[in-house]
Amino acid sequence: MNETELTSTGAVPSFYERPAVEKEILPVAQGIPLGIERVSNPALGIAGAYGGWGESYDNDSLPAFLASRLGEPLQPDEIMNLGELGFHHRMHLPELTEEQHLAVEIEVGARLLQNAVAANGWSPEEVDGLLIGTSAPVCDDYLSQIARRAGLREDVLKVSVHKACDGSMGALHLALNPALGETGAVNIAEELAGKKVLVGGIEGLSRFTSHARDKNALQLFGNGMGVFGVIPGETMKLLAGKTHENYDEEGLLQVRMYYPHSKEMSPGKSLLETFREGASHIRVAGMMHEPEAGMPIVMAGLMGMVKLFVRTGVEVVSETYREYRQVLEKLGQAAKEIDVVIAHHANYKINLLKAKQLLKEGIRFPMPWLLSDFGNVSAASCAIAFLRQLPHIRPGDHILFDGFGAGTYYDVMAVAMG
* pLDDT reading at 304 higher than 90: no
**In this structure, are residues 22 and 35 in contact, taking their beta carbons and an 8 Å threshold?**
yes
Residue among 414, 409, 413, 405 nearest 244 (CA): 409
Q: 193 pLDDT exceeds 80? A: yes
pLDDT band of 5, cuts 50, 70, 90: very low
Residue 75's contacts (CB-CB under 8 Å, 6 or more residues apart) are none
Which of 378, 12, 47 is CA-nearest to residue 196?
47
Q: What is the pLDDT of residues 235-288, one digit of tens each?
A: 999 999 999 999 999 999 999 999 999 999 888 889 999 999 988 999 999 999
Q: Looking at residue 24, what is its pLDDT? A: 97
- The closest of 159, 156, 149 to 188, measured between CA atoms, is 159
Per-residue pLDDT tens over the stretch 98-122: 999 999 999 999 999 999 999 999 9
Q: pLDDT per residue over 385-397, tens digit each?
A: 999 999 999 999 9
What per-residue confidence (pLDDT) applies to 7?
36
Q: Which residues contact 409 (CB under 8 A, 6 or more apart)?
A: 163, 164, 166, 170, 243, 244, 245, 271, 286, 403
- Distance, CA of 206 to CA of 201 (rounded, Å): 15
Closest CA to 213 of 91, 95, 98, 299: 299
Please provide residue 33's backbone torsions phi and psi, each rounded to the nearest 5 degrees.
-65, 140
Identify the CATH homologous superfamily for domain 3-417: Thiolase/Chalcone synthase (3.40.47.10)
- At residue 66, the 3 state secondary structure works out as helix
In the chain, where are the structural domains located? 3-417
β-bridge mates for residue 94, sequence order = none
The pTM is what?
A: 0.96
Is the dihedral angle over the CA atoms 148, 149, 150, 151 positive or is it negative?
positive
Residues 6+ apart with CB under 8 A from 177: 189, 238, 241, 413
Residue 80 is which amino acid? M
